[in-house]
Structure formats: C-alpha cells, structure tokens
A and B are shown apart, each in its own frame.
Chain A
Amino acid sequence: MAEHSLKDPLIQACNDLFPQFGLTHKFMCELKESSLNSLEKYTILVGLTVGLSGNIVVSIPEKTALKIISAMMFGAEVKEIDEMGQSALCEFTNMLMGSTLTILSADINVDMAPPTLIVGEGKIVLSRHVESKKLFFKLDDSKFNIAYQTTTA
C-alpha cells in the first residue's frame, strides 16, 4: 500500500506561500513525534478525511504569529493579537492548507475540515496508534512547526 506523506506537499506549500507575503522562512528538519505534543500559544488544527484520515497541527509562538499577521496586513505594525489578527492568522493557515491539498491532489484527493484556532499553551494528544511527524521551520529569528498524522482512509 503506497504511503502518501504530507511532508513534501507541506514544505512546498510553505515555499510557495511565505515569499508571497515577503516572509523568509526555512525548513529545518522533520522528526518523529509522540502522540502527545505541547502547544505553542497559537495552534491551528485541521482535520483530514476521505483520501487520508488524520490531522495537521500548525503550532505558532506569539513572535511568529505577529510577523505573519503583520505581513497579512501589508506590513502594518502589530503589537498584540486581537480578533482581526486571529482571523488573519487563520486565513493564512487556510491558504497554506489549501495549497498543501492542491499539491497532494496530484497523488490523492483529500478533504479538509475548516481549521480551528486554539489560543493558549496546553497539550494536544493525537491517536497513539498512528505515527506522528513534525516539521520544524524558522521564520527569521522566530520559529513554527507543523505536526501531522495521517493514515489511508
């Protein structure tokens, strides 16, 4: 059974999207993850169905979130994240996930549930019976990561 990995589509989607907003990011590495993860202050969760069943977890510390929101607002200075900032962050992730699934569709069609934004540092637990992986990125002098866990539906 062919394994459809999200690694390349996610990296490619980041490579396509970040420069469009004048953001300089860099993919650092991929590591295996346990099913239990700590969350950064801003987390966007995306459920996957149909072709692949699973979840993508985009975890963003405050410093990175401020940069992304500022870029979404044409470079305006953003000192704190209000409702509009949260919407901008979600919209950015929407674009990233949409792009990921479009790239993936050359291989397999996957449906995506609307992303959910979680604010606050806590813990997330994914299925313990499926391998989880995490992609680590830098964004200038800050960072973010994207964890994913999928299985053939």
Chain B
Amino acid sequence: METKFKILIIDDSRFIYKTLENILKDDAFEILEQAQNGQIGVDLFEKYQPDLVLLDVIMPVKNGIEAAREILQKSPAAKIIMISSMGDNDIIEEAKILGVKSFLLKPPNAIEVLNCVKDVLEINNLNCQMQK
C-alpha cells in the first residue's frame, strides 16, 4: 500500500483551500483540514507533521512569515511552499532566507502548483488528474 503525502494548507481563504484541494486531488496526496491562520497552522503542523505545507502570507493572528519561522525553527527539514497575492520582492527574499522552498502567486495555477509540489517533494512520476 502506497503512503500518501500529507499536505497542510494554511490560508484564511476557503476559496484558496478548496482550489488547492481540487488541484491536488490525487491518490498520492492527503489534504489535511484547513488552517485559517498562522497560529492554527503551527499547531496543526505539530499535530500532523505533514510532508508539505502550502502557506499564505497575509493572515490574521499570525502571518505566514512568522508561521514559517516557527515551523522551520522546530523542524528545519520542513518543506514549505508559500502562496500569496503579495509578491513583494522583500517578502519573497525574507521567505527564501528563512528556508521556504518556493513561492507561488495567487490565484493558484493548476500546472504551476503541481509542478512546484512535484519538485519540492521530489516526486518523479506523478499521475494526477488536473481539474482545470
């Protein structure tokens, strides 16, 4: 029996969560419950120890940069892809310095997301049904 990759989506937008869930609808992935802010995201990371985190930047309570910092401090090997509407160069730079693996812009594009996930998880043969 193949093990599924556990993916945690940390984003306050239900639309983004459902869209990413749809894009990643595949036997290879298990999409965990939505984390609506950075603090819940950090807590759920502790609970589930996911293989991959998809993380928004602008969120209430705790933003994505702070959440990434905390997750990577506790789990330096954590794989995080940030997904945001804000593509400010200084935010991207800060994220990369922290150790985030990649940065995607919203709205999520199915092909870009799948390719990025594949790269970060180092999956060579990914048979996915693309929903769009």
Contact = CB atoms under 8 A, between A and B. Distances in A.
Interface of A: 53, 127, 129-130, 151-153
Interface of B: 12, 36-37, 58-61, 63
A110 B58 CA distance: 17
Listed from nearest, the 6 A-B pairs whose CB atoms lie closest are A151-B60, A130-B60, A129-B36, A129-B12, A129-B60, A151-B61
Contacts, number: 16
B contacts with A: majority SS? loop
7 contacts: A53-B58, A129-B36, A129-B59, A129-B61, A130-B61, A152-B61, A153-B63
Contacts of B60: 53, 127, 129-130, 151
Secondary structure class of chain A's binding surface, majority of residues: loop
B12 A127 contact: yes
A43 to B, nearest CB: 22
A151 B12 CA distance: 13
A127 B60 CA distance: 9
B86 to A, nearest CB: 12
A99 B60 CA distance: 25
A151 B58 CA distance: 11
A19 B9 CA distance: 51
A127 B63 CA distance: 15
Contacts of A127: 12, 60
Contacts of A153: 63
A151 B63 CA distance: 10
Nearest to A1: B62
A35 B130 CA distance: 35
A56 to B, nearest CB: 16
A127 B37 CA distance: 12
A153 B59 CA distance: 9
A53 to B, nearest CB: 7
A80 B38 CA distance: 48
Nearest to B59: A129
Contacts of A129: 12, 36-37, 59-61
Contacts of B61: 129-130, 151-152
Contacts of B37: 129
Nearest to A153: B63
A53 B63 CA distance: 11
Contacts of B36: 129
